[in-house]
Chain A
Amino acid sequence: MTDFSSEIISHIDRGFVADLLSKGERVDGRAFGEYREIIIEPNPVAAKAEGSAIVRLGDTSVVAGVKVLTGPPYPDTPDEGVIMIAAEMAPMASPLFELGPPKEPAIELARIVDRGVRESKTMDAKALCIKPGKLVYMVFADVYTLEYDGNLIDASSIAVNAALLGTKFPEIKLEDGEEVATGKELTLPLQNMAIEHTVAKIGNHLVIDPVLKEAMVMDCRLTMAVDKNDNFTAMQKGGGAGPISLEMVDQAMGMALDSSKEIRELITSTMKNPE
């Protein structure tokens, strides 16, 4: 999510959001700790991508796709597969997104989502090794934004995890220096799942999963990745320069923990039983 402090937000919008918050209400009627409706469409790109998912978080939507290729490992990790996660804030999703190479907000989005997956060791990278020093599986996950109404980070995180969970790819072995498909179909070696949760600070209030109107008036936001053991594996304060107190950080962590399990279960049940 971008820093909107340079965008002109009308006093009425600002006042409206603040006024509602002071009465314990949000613009769309949600509770402060409540997510918008999450809809996951499994495997929309089944014919070409190894894994994919479209996620709708209210009126925000993104598509994530996973490609599993083979290639040489990084020199410093010869027995580990390569994992690369990227996200693009495509201008089709919002008049606020500019055309051109990714700027800081897009780079931040990509890196946050990547960190969430990497730091939690969502994938057992060693299990992606085919032959140490020679050949490994390379897992690329890419997210494209389709519609923007706030909170791309969480939507992207859900989409990436869903796509990874649904990924199927052909097993490759190295025989006499040649890559050979064994005919077997593999799934990714997933050992954890960490979901990003974004909480926005507006005045003295914290609201989870901010919509665009809330994102435009927030002082800052805190994004936290929570894994299946309720451990925090990544954190980022951003979305504005406003400072946040320790108490509020603690409160935000509690809000993330409250939502984490339900979202993980939604992802798991949707991807394991695609209709």
Chain B
Amino acid sequence: MAVYFQKREVVVPGQLLAEGRYRASFGTYDDGDRIYSALVGLAELRGNTVKVVALEGVYIPREGDLVLGTITIVTGNNWKVDIGGPYLASLHANNALRRPYDDDISRYMDIGDVIAAEVIAFDRVTGPFLGMKGRGLRRLDSGMILEISPAKIPRVIGRRGSMINMIQDILRIQTMVGQNGRIWIRASNIEVMRLAIKAFKMIEAQAHTSRLTDRVKTMLEEEMANIHGEEMSEDMFEEPTDIEDSKESEDIAEPAELVEDEDTAEGEEPVKPEKSPKTEAVDEIKDDSPEDATEEETESEETETETKEEVSE
């Protein structure tokens, strides 16, 4: 029995990771009793399971993922949604609207609209299917969408939302982080918006390193101090007064639940814990009302971070 890599070592395809009675998991393949890496990524040993956390790659949908997509086609009772990656997603009106609804569904959401949705079903033969019946799932307006490498998203969220919450707190912005590499940001002014983009790009570049949360925090605090120093204006931190937002939150029914891990398609489907993480998420909810919407969003993302923790310190 032997393991041939260091903790958090960047491994490359074909690299021998382990030999003996180990189990080959995501990002690896085996040949006899030897396990090799199939990806460029960080090798991890958990118990006797060897896996490689990808550092690159296009978005491959998984059930339960929160994604941000753009509607490209409206056809009958379906919207086709571009979520990046090789598969165009479908959203059926029944999974998004309350009945009864109009025949012309473009009334509700049309081509060019950006939505936050959940992947409710996916196998590689048919495309991914989306649903919008869940907490925080809605059409997004204003703000901007930043695209980064989907493999780095777990680092953007951080363990139990530590990274994204820190960024939101310091900058006082609203965000929604899609597993497909898309981040929606709404800030009260352009300088703060640019800082947020800088932070996310920094995370993208350094996702494979440790102490990243500290470094990002330090960078943001320094930059914010600079901004404050230049201009002390009262409108600097106007909370986004968006009535639409709170109304939609009331509409929302249940929080997006993790789908239990059944037999997934052959390949490298990463494993998800089966317990609901709701208990941990509750600790994070704060009392200030404008922040509520934000916290709910991070709640649904947090459920997704469980499986990708390998990347954080």
Within 8 A of B (CB), among A147-205: none
Assess whether A9 is in contact with B112, with CB atoms less than 8 Å apart: yes
Assess whether B190 is in contact with A23, with CB atoms less than 8 Å apart: yes
Assess whether B82 is in contact with A12, with CB atoms less than 8 Å apart: no
Look across to chain A and name the residue whose beta carbon is closest to the beta carbon of B82.
A8
Q: Which residues of B contact A254 (CB under 8 A)?
A: none
Look across to chain A and name the residue whose beta carbon is closest to the beta carbon of B113.
A11
Within 8 A of A (CB), among B19-74: 70-72
Select which of B72, B184, B190, B194 is within 8 A of A12 by beta carbon: B184
Select which of A8, A19, A29 is within 8 A of B112 by beta carbon: A8
Write the residues of chain B forming the contact surface with A, with a CB cutoff of 8 angstroms: 70-72, 82, 111-114, 140-145, 184, 190, 194
Look across to chain B and name the residue whose beta carbon is closest to the beta carbon of A16.
B144
Residue with the greatest number of chain B CB neighbours at <10 A, chosen from A9, A11, A13: A11
Assess whether B143 is in contact with A12, with CB atoms less than 8 Å apart: yes
Q: Which residues of A contact B71 (CB under 8 A)?
A: 8
Assess whether B111 is in contact with A15, with CB atoms less than 8 Å apart: no
19 residue pairs of the A-B complex, CB under 8 angstroms, read: A8-B70, A8-B72, A8-B82, A9-B112, A10-B70, A10-B114, A10-B145, A11-B112, A11-B114, A12-B140, A12-B143, A14-B112, A15-B141, A16-B142, A16-B143, A16-B145, A23-B190, A25-B190, A29-B194
The size of the chain A interface, using a CB distance under 8 A, is 14
Report how far A11 CA is from B113 CA in the complex, Å. 6
Report how far A212 CA is from B267 CA in the complex, Å. 36
Report how far A13 CA is from B145 CA in the complex, Å. 7
Q: Which residues of A contact B112 (CB under 8 A)?
A: 8-11, 14
| Distance from A29 Cβ to chain B, minimum over Cβ atoms (Å) | 7
Assess whether B142 is in contact with A12, with CB atoms less than 8 Å apart: yes
A-B interface, 4 closest residue pairs, ranked by CB to CB distance from nearest? A16-B144, A10-B70, A11-B112, A8-B72
Look across to chain A and name the residue whose beta carbon is closest to the beta carbon of B194.
A29
Q: Which residues of B contact A29 (CB under 8 A)?
A: 194
Select which of A12, A19, A20, A23 is within 8 A of B114 by beta carbon: A12
Q: Which residues of A contact B143 (CB under 8 A)?
A: 12, 16
Q: A8-B72, A8-B82 are in contact. Are A20 and B190 (CB under 8 A)?
A: yes
Select which of A8, A9, A15, A23 is within 8 A of B142 by beta carbon: A15
Report how far A51 CA is from B190 CA in the complex, Å. 43
Report how far A114 CA is from B274 CA in the complex, Å. 63
